[in-house]
Amino acid sequence: MAAADIDLAVIIPLYNEGAVIQENFRRIRQVFAEDGLACHFVLVDDGSSDATWQEISLLVKEFPEVSALRFARNFGKEAAICAGLERVEARRYLVMDSDLQHPPRCVKEMVALMEREQADIVEGVKEKRGRESLAYRLLANGFYRLMKLLTGLDLERSSDFKLLDRGVVEALRRFEESSLFFRGLVAWVGFKRVAYSFAVDGPGCRRSRFTAGKLIRLALNAILSYTSKPLYLTIISGLIFLLISVLLGIQTLYNYFSGRAVSGFTTVILLLLFTGSMIMISLGFIGVYIARIYDEVKRRPRYVVSETAGM
Ligand code: UDP
Ligand code: MG
């Protein structure tokens, strides 16, 4: 497949979507056909444990404009998106969820916007969140606030629903790190970008494929692979603590010389506990980063493809 052959490559990561993919894909395909969007679909099965691959294979047989990749295990949505962007050559790339929460109706406008504004990136921005559970909303809000604090990037309301020009994808392909955060990278590369706001659509009450554990891992991954600020945070809190200890030290000495010692026993215990926890936290952060470095120097592939269809 040469670059000129495909005008728009649509990358869709899939994880345990076997029950709904047939219906959802047909819906997406139909909307694109109605809107006159000629495109090639790349369905990436992120190591699903259900019948997703069988269903995708049926779609590949049925439609010539569909090709598919299957991961050997669940490597995560970020890796699935990457694989899609790496494995197909096209003039433009669209990344979207399979569950219709990224409304296919909007794509035509996004393409028009890209052409009108001569932009390289059109970012889908969530107008309002769809029906999400309270716990999810709290977690997501906390995550975005933390991200903003640590990276200075406003990732609130951002989504993976993005239209990218070939140049951007070529830049993204040059990233060699093995763990990455798609939205962070797209924000990092620069280029001319415009926002496109959309209302999250689709069956919002469906259970998310992201469990709490997965979301926490994603949040950690986003922070650790994007910034080393927590390392500085450790140093700063260490300095603040040093200042407090100096003040307390002066007070203790003063008490000692004025013959009022012993009574400060509580302080000692509290101090010990506090220092202990500070050291633990710092060591934890350093450990996590070292683990990161270890992961990166191993140069492991981001994902392993076990099967392809229609590629
Ligand atoms: N997904 C994936 N790998 C995962 C989890 C999710 O490829 O480990 C896909 C999923 O199939 C869907 C998209 O990522 O196409 C978004 O997932 P979901 O709708 O469950 O997430 P949410 O709506 O909670 O963001
Ligand atoms: Mg969803």
Identify whether residues 154 and 266 lie together within a single domain.
no
Nearest ligand by distance to the CA of 12: 1
pLDDT digits (tens, 9 = 90+) for 124-178: 888 866 566 788 778 778 877 877 787 766 667 778 899 999 999 999 998 887 7
User: Does the residue 142 lie in any domain?
Assistant: yes
What DSSP assignment string belongs to 123-143?
EEEESS--S--HHHHHHHHHH
Q: In which region does residue 240 sit, left (phi positive, over 0), alpha (psi from -120 to 50) or beta (all else)?
A: alpha
Nearest CA to ligand 1 atom 3: 77
Nearest ligand by distance to the CA of 20: 1
What pLDDT shows up at residue 3?
A: 46
3-state secondary structure of 199: coil
Q: Which two tokens stand for residue 286?
A: 């350093």
Q: Which of these three, 205, 226, 247, is where a domain ends?
A: 226
Index of the ligand 1 atom closest to the CA of residue 12: 15
- What are the pocket residues of ligand 1 if the criterion is a CB atom closer than 6 Å to any ligand atom? 13-15, 17, 46, 74, 76-77, 80, 97-99, 101, 208-210
Identify whether residues 121 and 144 lie together within a single domain.
yes
Asked if 311 contacts 60 with a C-beta cutoff of 8 angstroms, the reply is no
Mean pLDDT over the full length of the chain: 83
* Of 77-81, 93-97, 272-276, minimum mean pLDDT range: 272-276
CA of 232 to the centre of ligand 1 (A): 33
Identify whether residues 234 and 143 lie together within a single domain.
no
CA of 163 to the centre of ligand 2 (A): 18
User: Does the residue 64 lie in any domain?
Assistant: yes
Q: Could you tell me where the DSSP H helices lie in the chain?
A: 21-34, 52-62, 77-87, 106-117, 134-151, 166-173, 182-189, 212-226, 229-257, 265-297
Index of the ligand 1 atom closest to the CA of residue 46: 7
Domain of 199: which CATH number? 3.90.550.10
Identify whether residues 245 and 191 lie together within a single domain.
no
pLDDT digits (tens, 9 = 90+) for 191-214: 888 989 888 776 554 567 777 777
User: Does the residue 163 lie in any domain?
Assistant: yes
What pLDDT shows up at residue 206?
A: 57
Q: Which of these three, 192, 226, 260, is where a domain ends?
A: 226
CA of 207 to the centre of ligand 2 (A): 8
Q: Which residue has the higher pLDDT, 96 or 36?
A: 96
Q: Which of these three, 226, 246, 276, is where a domain ends?
A: 226
- Residue 197 identity: S
Number of domains in the chain: 2
Nearest CA to 96 among 192, 219, 9?
9
What pLDDT shows up at residue 254?
A: 83
Nearest CA to 198 among 86, 270, 94, 120?
94
Index of the ligand 1 atom closest to the CA of residue 214: 8
pLDDT digits (tens, 9 = 90+) for 271-297: 777 787 778 778 878 878 887 787 778
3-state secondary structure of 238: helix
* Of 5-19, 241-255, 263-277, minimum mean pLDDT range: 263-277
Identify whether residues 211 and 93 lie together within a single domain.
yes
User: Does the residue 44 lie in any domain?
Assistant: yes
Ramachandran angles phi, psi of 206, nearest 5°: -60, 145
Identify whether residues 167 and 55 lie together within a single domain.
yes
What pLDDT shows up at residue 51?
A: 92
What pLDDT shows up at residue 207?
A: 63
What pLDDT shows up at residue 286?
A: 84
User: Does the residue 234 lie in any domain?
Assistant: yes
Number of other CB atoms surrounding residue 222 within 10 Å:
25
Identify whether residues 239 and 218 lie together within a single domain.
no
Nearest CA to ligand 1 atom 24: 208
Index of the ligand 1 atom closest to the CA of residue 14: 11
What pLDDT shows up at residue 304?
A: 92
Identify whether residues 254 and 118 lie together within a single domain.
no
Identify whether residues 166 and 49 lie together within a single domain.
yes
CB-based burial, 11-49: b 16+ in 10 Å, e otherwise: bbbbbbbbebbeebbeebbebbeeeebebbbbbbbbbbe
Asked if 184 contacts 112 with a C-beta cutoff of 8 angstroms, the reply is no
CA of 99 to the centre of ligand 2 (A): 6
- 4, pLDDT greater than 60: no
User: Does the residue 116 lie in any domain?
Assistant: yes
Nearest CA to ligand 1 atom 11: 14
DSSP code, position 207: P
pTM of whole model > 0.85? no
User: Does the residue 309 lie in any domain?
Assistant: no
Q: CB-based burial of residue 114 (10 Å sphere; 0-12 exposed, 13-18 middle, 19+ buried)?
A: buried
Ramachandran angles phi, psi of 104, nearest 5°: -60, -25
CA of 101 to the centre of ligand 2 (A): 6
Q: Which residue has the higher pLDDT, 41 or 2?
A: 41
What pLDDT shows up at residue 203?
A: 59
Identify whether residues 166 and 25 lie together within a single domain.
yes
Please give the residue range of the domain that contains residue 233: 229-297
Which residue among 46, 69, 82, 209 is best mutated to probe the pocket of ligand 1, counting the most ligand atoms within 8 A of its Cβ? 209
Identify whether residues 289 and 147 lie together within a single domain.
no
User: Does the residue 276 lie in any domain?
Assistant: yes
**Most confidently modeled of 11-25, 211-225, 247-261?**
11-25
Identify whether residues 85 and 133 lie together within a single domain.
yes
Nearest ligand by distance to the CA of 136: 1
CA of 105 to the centre of ligand 2 (A): 16
Nearest CA to ligand 1 atom 9: 14
Measured in whole angstroms, the distance separating CA 29 from the mean position of its chain's CA atoms is: 25
